[in-house]
A = this chain, B = another copy of it.
């Protein structure tokens, strides 16, 4: 058994990691760390885990943590991580981080969009963007993995085959997406209270959401040229799940859904967690929520010769905790799917 510590274990991403690791045959959670709840049994905070994971939450004590675990998953606010992650890396530990700090190749991108100074840019050269479908090899060797954002994972995997195969123009790309409310984290903000969100739907972060440059960085990398997109997220009154609908202008006037289906199937032929749906079938959140799958459906809007790609995943699954475990499996050198093959709940 590999020993893993989860730092920031009581947020929703942390909780999903803890929950998913209960199914994992080769990983043991040796520490669950939380400043707010240190000393309390984990199942006091998440009573669904009563009699399953009752371990008391630990303080943030680097020495002690390093004795207990070789691998770390951090799900922390941006500023908390700078006291912790460099320490872990210095001691030779391997880390998967959920913040945005290590996702960008250029520290300037981070600083512009997050409005803060990047205080760990020396670690940027170590870090790998944790999207196994694109960076599997590097992830398996990485000391520091930046787990991707939920919207970026959904958009990038949905669009990748079109750009990698140079099937679309790189201008006029639009990503319109919607997320369940757990994407905002475990927060007591009024804006995420039941009465303010139920029976509601809204756009937010219009033209300025921080996942925009992350999507652009990876799309640009796939296309081999700089891409700028429009990205609009929306808030759905559901607990978990992201669905994104992307619009890209096709170069070939004779493209068909069948051809695209073959191209996508070929592109993802070795990817267990990417399910390309047959022409005419589109993803639904209930088919991925609770799982590590991303489902992708592709249409051709003939009248305007535009590809419309719909992709869906669980923001806590393939969009965060599931993907982190997929990366961790790679880092451990075990089957990438271990502990992650359960289907969505549907109901």
Residues on A lying within 8 angstroms of B by beta carbon are: 12, 15-16, 19, 22-23, 46-53, 171-172, 174, 176, 178, 180-182, 186-190, 192-204, 206-207, 228-230, 232, 234, 236-241, 243, 245, 247, 249, 272, 275, 277, 281-291, 295, 297, 299-304, 306, 308, 310, 312, 316, 341-347
Contacts and interface: CB of A to CB of B under 8 A. Distances in A.
Contact of A230 (B50, B198, B306): B306
Given A201-B243, A283-B202, A48 B345 contact: yes
Nearest to A198: B239
A55 B31 CA distance: 41
Nearest to A273: B51
A188 B188 contact: yes
A44 to B, nearest CB: 9
A243 B238 contact: no
A178 B201 contact: yes
Contacts of A289: 199
A180 B234 CA distance: 14
Given A23-B23, A174-B176, A236-B236, 20 more contacts: A15-B347, A19-B343, A19-B345, A19-B346, A50-B275, A187-B190, A187-B193, A188-B189, A192-B193, A198-B237, A198-B239, A199-B289, A201-B285, A202-B283, A203-B310, A204-B282, A207-B308, A230-B306, A237-B238, A239-B347
A12 B174 contact: no
B247 A230 contact: yes
Nearest to A238: B199
A51 B270 CA distance: 13
Given A200-B286, A347-B182, A302 B51 contact: no
B23 A342 contact: yes
Nearest to A52: B343
Contacts of A195: 12, 181-182, 186, 192, 239, 347
Contact of A243 (B193, B197, B234, B239): B234
